[in-house]
């Protein structure tokens, strides 16, 4: 059986440590009733442990050489080896529209895009686990006030509880990446409705963090304009990394009201400083 050579343009770093692969496979055991979708299986080091679980497993791989290897190595998967680009797939069609657990040793170069896809399909994916760059994992798990707290932190924690599970050395990969990796688990929280316009929420979070060193008064200008009276509130002296998820929700509601009725919005109370809000 011909081995697959890792392709740099696909961000491939094949895991070779079986103990780490087993530990990653076990992260989906919190939802034993769900079928599993593995993204980017490569030569199947994680797949071999997933298929031992008593549930349906599907894998999606964009690299045709890896697909050929998997079909020879795992004939039991039969039609459940999907040659496709995960980012372009209609996930509703995978398991008949039923929820599933998402896992994988995710390519570094698309891990953030994978999680944005997860958010777009959050009602289908109650659990997402896997290995990513350590820096990205820390960013996703970070809380307000942290230097690593940012767009991914807020958008994911609005809908998921995040666990940073363990760190993985760069030496257990072929080829070794230049940075360490980490395994995380994201579990859907109880929130069904944010209590604000979700599209505007995403826009507010992205707009303010794209100028994270500026105060909200300045970073929110692309949405509200430079002369909006709402920005005179003391809240807008803060920087985005100081706001909790709930405070971003409250801010989104105030921005929406300001866009509809600038004068009325100025009479609203200042967003509280407390950290009460959605579960991280």
Task: Decide if 167 contacts 180 (C-beta within 8 A).
Answer: yes
Residue 38 pLDDT more than 90?
A: yes
Q: Is 243 helix (H, G, I), strand (E, B) or coil?
A: coil
Whole-number percent of the chain with pLDDT over 90: 79
Give 219-231 pLDDT, tens digit per residue: 999 999 877 888 8
| Whole-number Å distance between alpha carbons of 156 and 132 | 15
193 versus 277: the higher-pLDDT residue is 193
- Domain residue extents for the chain: 8-188, 198-265
Residue 278 pLDDT more than 60?
A: no
Tokens 């989906």 belong to residue: 28
Confidence of residue 60 (pLDDT cuts 50, 70, 90): very high
Binding site for S-adenosyl-L-methionine: what residues are annotated?
13, 15, 40, 61, 85, 105
Contacts of 94 (CB under 8 A, 6+ apart): 37, 58, 100
For range 202-224, the mean pLDDT: 94
| Whole-number Å distance between alpha carbons of 156 and 115 | 8
| Whole-number Å distance between alpha carbons of 151 and 175 | 30
For range 236-242, the mean pLDDT: 95
Give 162-195 pLDDT, tens digit per residue: 999 999 999 999 999 999 999 999 999 999 999 9
Predicted local distance difference test score (pLDDT) of residue 114? 98
Residue 277 pLDDT more than 50?
A: no
Residue 55 pLDDT more than 60?
A: yes
Q: Is 173 helix (H, G, I), strand (E, B) or coil?
A: strand
The fold adopted by the segment(s) 198-265 is Helicase, Ruva Protein; domain 3 (1.10.8)
Q: What is the pTM of this model?
A: 0.89
Residue 266 pLDDT more than 70?
A: no
For range 91-113, the mean pLDDT: 96
For range 139-164, the mean pLDDT: 98
Predicted local distance difference test score (pLDDT) of residue 274? 39
Q: How many residues does the chain have?
A: 280
| Whole-number Å distance between alpha carbons of 91 and 121 | 8
* Nearest of 157, 162, 151, 136 to residue 240 by alpha carbon: 151
The fold adopted by the segment(s) 8-188 is Rossmann fold (3.40.50)
Residue 45 pLDDT more than 70?
A: yes
For range 79-106, the mean pLDDT: 97
Task: Decide if 195 contacts 253 (C-beta within 8 A).
Answer: yes
Residue 64 pLDDT more than 70?
A: yes
Residue 238 pLDDT more than 50?
A: yes
| Whole-number Å distance between alpha carbons of 73 and 79 | 14
Cβ count within 10 A of residue 187 = 16
280 versus 48: the higher-pLDDT residue is 48
Binding site: what residues are annotated?
13, 15, 40, 61, 85, 105
Predicted local distance difference test score (pLDDT) of residue 264? 47
Task: Decide if 271 contacts 235 (C-beta within 8 A).
Answer: yes
The helix/strand count (H/E) of the chain reads as 11, 9
Q: Is 275 helix (H, G, I), strand (E, B) or coil?
A: coil
* Mean of the per-residue pLDDT values of the chain: 91
Residue 262 pLDDT more than 70?
A: no
Predicted local distance difference test score (pLDDT) of residue 270? 45
């Amino acid at each position: 059986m011909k081995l697959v050579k890792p392709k740099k343009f696909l961000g491939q770093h094949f895991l070779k440590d079986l103990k780490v692969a087993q530990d990653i496979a076990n992260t989906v055991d919190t939802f034993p009733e769900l079928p599993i979708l593995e993204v980017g299986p490569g030569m199947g080091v994680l797949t071999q442990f997933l298929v031992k679980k008593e549930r349906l497993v599907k894998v999606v791989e964009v690299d045709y050489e890896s697909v050929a290897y998997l079909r020879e190595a795992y004939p039991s998967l039969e039609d459940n080896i999907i040659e496709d680009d995960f980012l372009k797939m209609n996930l509703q069609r995978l398991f008949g529209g039923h929820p599933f657990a998402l896992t994988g040793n995710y390519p570094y170069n698309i891990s953030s895009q994978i999680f944005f896809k997860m958010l777009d399909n959050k009602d289908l994916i109650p659990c997402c686990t896997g290995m990513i760059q350590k820096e990205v994992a820390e960013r996703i798990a970070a809380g307000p006030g942290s230097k690593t707290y940012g767009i991914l932190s807020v958008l994911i924690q609005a809908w998921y509880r995040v666990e940073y599970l363990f760190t993985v050395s760069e030496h257990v990969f072929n080829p070794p990446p230049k940075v360490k990796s980490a395994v995380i688990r994201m579990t859907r929280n109880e929130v069904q409705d944010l209590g604000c316009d979700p599209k505007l929420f995403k826009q507010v979070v992205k707009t303010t963090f794209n100028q994270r060193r500026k105060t909200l008064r300045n970073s929110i200008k692309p949405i509200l304009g430079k002369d909006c009276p709402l920005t005179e509130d003391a809240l807008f002296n803060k920087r985005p990394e100081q706001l909790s998820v709930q405070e971003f929700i409250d801010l989104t509601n105030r921005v929406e009201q300001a866009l509809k009725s600038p004068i009325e919005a100025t009479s609203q109370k200042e967003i509280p400083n407390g950290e009460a809000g959605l579960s991280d």
